[in-house]
Amino acid sequence: MRGLMMDDPLLVSDLIEHAALNHGFQEIVSRTVEGPIHRYTYADALKRIKKLANALNRLGVQQGDRLATFAWNGYRHFELYYAISGSGAVCHTINPRLFADQIVFIVNHAKDRFIFLDVTFVPLLEPLADQLPHVEGYILLADKDHMPETSLPNVMCYEDLVEPESDEFDWPRFDENTASSMCYTSGTTGNPKGVLYSHRSTVLHTFFQCNGEGFAMNSKAVVLPAVPMFHANAWGLPYAVCMVGAKVVFPGAAYDGASIWEMLDTEKVTFAAGVPTIWMMLLEYVRREGKRFDHLTQTGIGGSAVPLAMVEAFEDEYEVEVFHAWGMTETSPVGTTGAFNCKVAEMPLERRRTYQIKQGRSIFGVRMKIVDDQGNSLARDGETFGQLAVKGPWIVGAYHDNDEANATQFTEDGWFLTGDIATLDDYGYMTIVDRAKDVIKSGGEWISSIDLENAAVGHPGVAEAAVIGIAHPKWDERPLLVVVRSEGAEVSGADVLSFLDGKIAKWWMPDAVEFVEELPHTATGKIAKLKLREQFAGYELPGVGSG
């Protein structure tokens, strides 16, 4: 017997319609690429989004067509999110920080028909255009006065494209499993892999984000997504703000500490989300300039593990709660949050902090387990390591047009193998120990490079740290700690090792410390361990002879 409820599909277009109808007065504020601050309301945005949807129809865009974006966080990019997906096409956000050959691969693999781009990315795409045969035109996100000279073929001005269209548009109704948007992984091991989100998965993920076990968002919040809209859909925040009708503040291309603080302060932001490197720059700025956070009450941090020192700085020095989350492109992206359960919330501060730097716990909608090499489930005791496997309605079920990855990263019963080595405890809290390719195997035991790095950056003279395994004739591998000194610091290797004493297991202690001017990073801001291993190829640990 079937239930007698309406079979109304979950569609992205309904989110912006809801925001405009019930929160039409609410502001969307953007720092533009041109420089000035732009502000309008959800009601204004919906009219322009419908104009854009009509313009896409005039360009001959069909349902299922992929339309790419190279853009910063701003109101025009926000309009693209909704007009493209709402009309039935696929909004394909591309990370401009990727290498040129990866960009070419992604655009061609997705068969993008049009590319929308901020003018800052014109020099990036000009030398690549002749390698992109499927692209029919380039739409620059600017008005006529800010259109640059360019060699890109078939260039159009966004404002000229949108302006003449009607602001009346009837959103098509279709199967909620239709693809809505698309992101590619950063391709640290081989070519990037395409993840196709559906309208259903996106709306369900948005429900999760807004509930009390997620980001607990509501219409009184002022939200600044410092995570780029070209990185896993800005963690879904452009959808979440519409569901609850929150004010949203887009930082544009300015991610330095001074610019972020200015937006936080002038727009009275209450919640901001981004990767640790963004917040590290912000903390350095506010400490140096003696600034405070008068409105910010919570910061969401993900993308890589949050160092305890960062949690302590935000909470103890500035009274800003740190909310840790974990996810991947393949998980839409939020898979866990650091929301305290009632037991953890009652713990003393020091004990509670040990949970706060874990990657959090899954909520309804994400199932998690850790497995051994044979796929057997392992104990949820907080100590046993295994590969993290996840399953749920907003978890990738298959990669786009990638038989090789589909054959290796999914189990026969449908679980996605993340490639993360993790533990799960009896409360459901998950801790990423390492990426499978980064964990250091020493004497038959595992050393977590993540834990070592987080301990090292607790030293005031250490700005950034990375740990890689170096071959050892007896122990298989031993850890090498690579450090970037804080500005003006004169810390030595011996100082760092002395600082680590008592904070980590003795057998985890790095065999050597090397200092560098900067660490290599991936397009998503993570430390590029592959490049670092190449940089230190042939490195000889102290006391280990070449013979």
Please identify every residue annotated as catalytic: 185, 330, 441, 446
What is 168-225 written as a DSSP string? --------TTSEEEEEE---SSSS--EEEEEHHHHHHHHHHHHSTTTT---TT-EEEE
Cα 516 from Cα 488, distance rounded (Å): 14
Cα 470 from Cα 468, distance rounded (Å): 7
Which tokens is 502 given? 């008592």
Radius of gyration of the chain (CA): 24
The answer to whether 483 and 492 are in contact (CB under 8 A) is no
Other C-beta atoms closer than 10 Å to the C-beta of 106 total 24
Cα 435 from Cα 234, distance rounded (Å): 22
Say which residues have a Cβ less than 8 Å from residue 457's Cβ, sequence separation at least 6. 307, 309, 463, 464, 465
Say which residues have a Cβ less than 8 Å from residue 417's Cβ, sequence separation at least 6. 371, 387, 388, 389, 408, 409, 410, 411
Say which residues have a Cβ less than 8 Å from residue 96's Cβ, sequence separation at least 6. 70, 103, 121, 124, 230
Q: Is 403 left (phi over 0), alpha (psi -120 to 50) or beta?
A: alpha
Cα 70 from Cα 253, distance rounded (Å): 12
Say which residues have a Cβ less than 8 Å from residue 370's Cβ, sequence separation at least 6. 377, 378, 380, 384, 385, 386, 387, 388, 389, 422, 423, 424
The answer to whether 227 and 7 are in contact (CB under 8 A) is no
Helix (H, G, I), strand (E, B) or coil at 417: strand
Cα 369 from Cα 158, distance rounded (Å): 46
Say which residues have a Cβ less than 8 Å from residue 34's Cβ, sequence separation at least 6. 142, 146
Cα 505 from Cα 520, distance rounded (Å): 27
The answer to whether 204 and 11 are in contact (CB under 8 A) is no
Helix ranges (H only) for 319-402 are 342-345, 349-356
Helix (H, G, I), strand (E, B) or coil at 385: coil
What is 93-144 written as a DSSP string? E--TTS-HHHHHHHHHHHT-SEEEE-GGGHHHHGGGGGG-TT--EEEESS-G
Say which residues have a Cβ less than 8 Å from residue 123's Cβ, sequence separation at least 6. none
The answer to whether 48 and 163 are in contact (CB under 8 A) is no
Helix (H, G, I), strand (E, B) or coil at 471: strand
Helix (H, G, I), strand (E, B) or coil at 380: coil
- CA end-to-end span of the chain: 75
